[in-house]
C-alpha cells in the first residue's frame, strides 16, 4: 500500500469513502511524521488532542456516509500569521501574547473547517512575513529538506516544508511579494497566489493590498481543490469578492492547446537567472509548445515595479514596528527594524504615488494579456539561499527584493501567479518556473501548471 505521506487529496478521500483508511489513522500518521521531522523546524508546538478529536469527528461522518464537504478529514496546516480559532497567532515574533488565542477562524480557515478539514498545526515564518527566507526571533531557523544547510524560502517556509514531506496535504499560506512562490520554488512544490480578493482575508495584513492568501501543496490538483473551498465569500473582508466559490478542479486537465504564452526569461533584463534556472524555464516553454500552446519571447511592461514595491513594503514594515512599545522592539528581527527605518522616511505623498502606480502597472498588464493568455518566467533567479542568510553569497546589496525580481510585480498588479517545480539544479536544489495569468485567470494558470507538473516530474526528496 502507498504510504500515507505519498497520497494526494483525491486518493485520501477515496480511501475514506472505501473505509480503506480513516481520518484518525491519517492524523496519527501525520503527527508522528511531524515529530520525526522536527529538525527542519517547520511547525510551532502542536497539541495532539484537538487534532485527533477533529479527525474522530470526521471518521464518524464518513462511517455515516455524510461528509461535510470535499475536504472532510484531510490533514491541513496553516501559516502562523493567519487566525486559527483557539490558537495564538505569533507571526514569528516574540512581541505577542502567547496566551491571546484567536476567537475566530480567518475566512480561509473557516471555509476549510466548515467542510471538515483537520488542522494539524501552524507553520513557521519569518517575523511578520517580512522577508523571502524563513528564520525568526521566535522559532529560529527553518531548514530545507533537500539540504538542511539551506532555507526553504519564505515567508511560507514552514508550509513549504510540510507540503514537500507530506506533513498534511493542504497548506494555507500568504503572499505579499512572493511568499508562496519563493518557498515553492526553493523546495520543489506548487504554490499559488490567486487574484487579489479571490480568497477573503481577515484581519487585514499590515502590507495591505499586496497581501494574498493561497494554497501551497505537493500537487496542483490538491491546490486546486483547496482553492475551490477557501474562495467562499466572507463579509469581514471589505475587498473580497462576494461571488460563490468556483470548482477549480473542473477542467484542470484541459491542457494548453491554443493558448498564447509569453515567455520572459529575464523580464527585459531586470533579472539575471542562474544558467540552470534559465535552462529549466526554456525547457518549460518547450513543453508548453509541444502541448499545443503558441509560445514567443516577450517582456511584460513592469516599469518602476521595484521602486513601487519598496515604497509600499518599507512603509508596511514601519507600521508594524511603530505599533510596538519601544521595549518590545528590542525583541524584533534587526532586519525588520532596518527596513522599518527606511519606511519612516516615506511620506504620505510617496506612499499614495506608489499606490496609484499599481493601477498603471495593472492597466499595462491588462493590455499585455490582450495579446497573451499566460506569461511564463522563472520563479527565482537563484536556488535556495544558505539557512539563516538574508542575501545570496557575494551579494553587495542588502535588500532582499533584489533577489526576487520575478515575484513581487504580480503582487502589485494583483494577478494570479503560481510556481511549478522545474527540476533540480546542478547544486542539488530545486528550481521553480512561474506561470502568471490575467486577473481572474486562475483556471488558465492551473491548467498550464498541470501540464508542466506532468511533463517535468520531480525526483523524491533525499531525506
462 lies in a domain?
no
- Tens of pLDDT along 258-314? 999 999 999 988 788 999 999 999 999 999 999 999 999 999 999 999 999 999 999
Residue 1's pLDDT is 55
The reply to whether 136 belongs to the active site is no
pLDDT average, residue stretch 389-398: 84
Annotated catalytic residue, options 155, 228, 404, 419? 155
461 lies in a domain?
no
Q: Which of 320, 18, 30, 62 is nearest to 165 (CA)?
A: 30
363 lies in a domain?
yes
CA dihedral (412, 195, 82, 309) in degrees, to 10, reads: -10
Looking at the structure of the chain, the number of domains it has is 1
More confident residue, 147 or 1: 147
Q: What is the DSSP string of 15-55?
A: HHHTTSS-HHHHHHHHHHHHHHTGGG--B----HHHHHHHH
What CATH number is given to the structural domain containing 254? Answer: 3.90.1300.10
460 lies in a domain?
no
The reply to whether 79 belongs to the active site is yes
- Tens of pLDDT along 20-40? 999 999 999 999 999 999 999
Q: Which residues contact 100 (CB under 8 A, 6 or more apart)?
A: 88
The Cα diameter of the chain in Å comes to 62
The reply to whether 58 belongs to the active site is no
Residue 271's pLDDT is 82
Cell numbers given for 160: 513549504
**Position 420 confidence tier, pLDDT thresholds 50, 70, 90:** very high
Residue 395's pLDDT is 80
Q: What is the DSSP letter of 218?
A: S
342, 309 Cβ separation under 8 angstroms: no
171 lies in a domain?
yes
410 lies in a domain?
yes
Residue 191: give the domain boundaries. 4-455
Residue 2's pLDDT is 76
SS3 helix, strand, coil % of the chain, rounded to 5?
40, 15, 45
Q: At what angle do helices 220-230 and 107-114 cross, to 10 degrees?
A: 100
- For 402, the 3-state DSSP assignment is helix
Residue 439's pLDDT is 97
Annotated catalytic residue, options 136, 179, 264, 419? 179
270 lies in a domain?
yes
pTM for the model stands at: 0.98
- Tens of pLDDT along 230-274? 999 999 999 999 999 999 999 999 999 999 999 999 998 878 899
463 lies in a domain?
no
Q: Which residues contact 56 (CB under 8 A, 6 or more apart)?
A: 23, 24
Annotated catalytic residue, options 8, 79, 205, 404? 79
- Return the ∠ at Cα 342 (arms to 336 and 347), rounded to 5°: 130
Residue 218's pLDDT is 97
Amino acid at each position: 500500500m502507498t504510504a500515507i505521506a505519498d497520497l494526494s487529496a483525491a486518493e485520501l478521500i477515496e480511501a475514506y469513502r472505501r473505509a480503506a483508511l480513516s481520518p484518525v489513522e491519517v492524523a496519527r500518521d501525520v503527527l508522528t511524521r511531524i515529530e520525526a521531522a522536527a529538525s527542519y523546524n517547520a511547525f510551532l508546538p502542536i497539541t495532539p488532542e484537538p487534532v485527533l478529536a477533529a479527525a474522530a469527528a470526521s471518521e464518524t461522518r464518513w462511517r455515516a456516509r455524510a461528509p461535510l464537504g470535499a475536504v472532510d478529514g484531510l490533514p491541513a496546516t496553516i501559516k502562523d500569521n493567519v487566525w486559527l480559532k483557539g490558537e495564538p497567532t505569533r507571526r514569528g515574533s516574540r512581541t505577542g501574547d502567547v496566551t491571546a488565542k484567536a476567537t475566530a477562524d480567518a475566512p480561509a480557515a473557516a471555509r476549510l473547517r466548515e467542510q471538515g478539514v483537520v488542522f494539524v498545526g501552524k507553520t513557521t515564518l519569518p517575523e511578520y512575513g517580512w522577508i523571502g527566507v524563513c528564520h525568526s526571533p521566535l522559532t529560529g531557523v527553518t531548514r530545507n529538506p533537500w539540504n538542511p544547510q539551506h532555507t526553504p524560502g519564505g515567508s511560507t517556509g514552514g508550509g513549504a516544508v510540510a507540503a514537500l514531506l507530506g506533513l498534511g496535504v493542504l497548506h494555507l499560506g500568504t503572499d505579499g511579494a512572493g511568499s508562496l512562490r519563493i518557498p515553492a520554488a526553493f523546495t520543489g512544490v506548487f504554490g499559488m497566489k490567486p487574484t487579489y480578493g479571490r480568497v477573503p482575508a481577515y484581519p487585514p495584513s499590515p502590507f495591505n493590498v499586496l497581501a494574498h492568501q493561497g494554497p501551497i501543496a505537493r500537487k496542483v490538483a490538491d491546490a486546486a481543490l483547496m482553492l475551490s473551498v477557501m474562495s467562499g465569500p466572507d463579509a469581514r473582508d471589505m475587498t473580497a469578492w462576494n461571488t460563490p466559490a468556483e470548482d477549480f478542479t473542473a477542467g484542470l486537465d484541459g491542457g494548453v492547446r491554443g493558448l498564447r504564452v509569453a515567455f520572459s526569461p529575464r523580464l527585459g533584463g531586470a533579472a539575471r537567472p542562474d544558467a540552470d534556472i534559465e535552462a529549466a524555464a526554456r525547457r518549460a516553454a518547450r513543453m508548453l509548445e509541444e502541448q499545443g500552446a503558441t509560445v514567443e519571447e516577450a517582456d511584460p511592461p513592469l516599469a518602476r515595479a521595484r521602486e513601487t514595491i519598496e515604497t509600499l513594503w518599507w512603509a508596511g514594515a514601519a507600521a508594524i514596528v511603530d505599533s510596538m512599545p519601544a521595549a518590545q522592539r528590542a525583541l524584533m528581527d534587526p532586519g525588520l527594524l532596518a527596513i522599518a527605518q527606511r519606511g519612516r522616511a516615506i511620506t504620505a505623498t510617496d506612499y499614495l504615488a506608489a499606490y496609484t502606480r499599481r493601477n498603471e502597472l495593472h492597466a499595462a498588464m491588462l493590455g499585455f494579456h490582450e495579446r497573451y493568455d499566460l506569461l511564463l518566467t522563472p520563479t527565482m533567479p537563484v536556488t535556495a539561499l544558505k539557512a539563516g542568510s538574508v542575501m545570496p553569497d557575494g551579494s553587495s546589496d542588502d535588500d532582499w527584493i533584489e533577489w526576487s525580481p520575478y515575484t513581487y510585480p504580480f503582487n502589485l498588479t494583483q494577478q494570479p501567479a503560481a510556481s511549478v517545480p522545474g527540476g533540480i539544479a546542478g547544486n542539488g536544489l530545486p528550481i521553480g518556473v512561474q506561470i502568471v495569468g490575467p486577473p481572474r485567470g486562475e483556471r488558465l494558470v492551473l491548467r498550464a501548471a498541470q501540464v508542466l507538473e506532468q511533463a517535468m516530474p520531480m525526483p523524491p526528496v533525499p531525506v
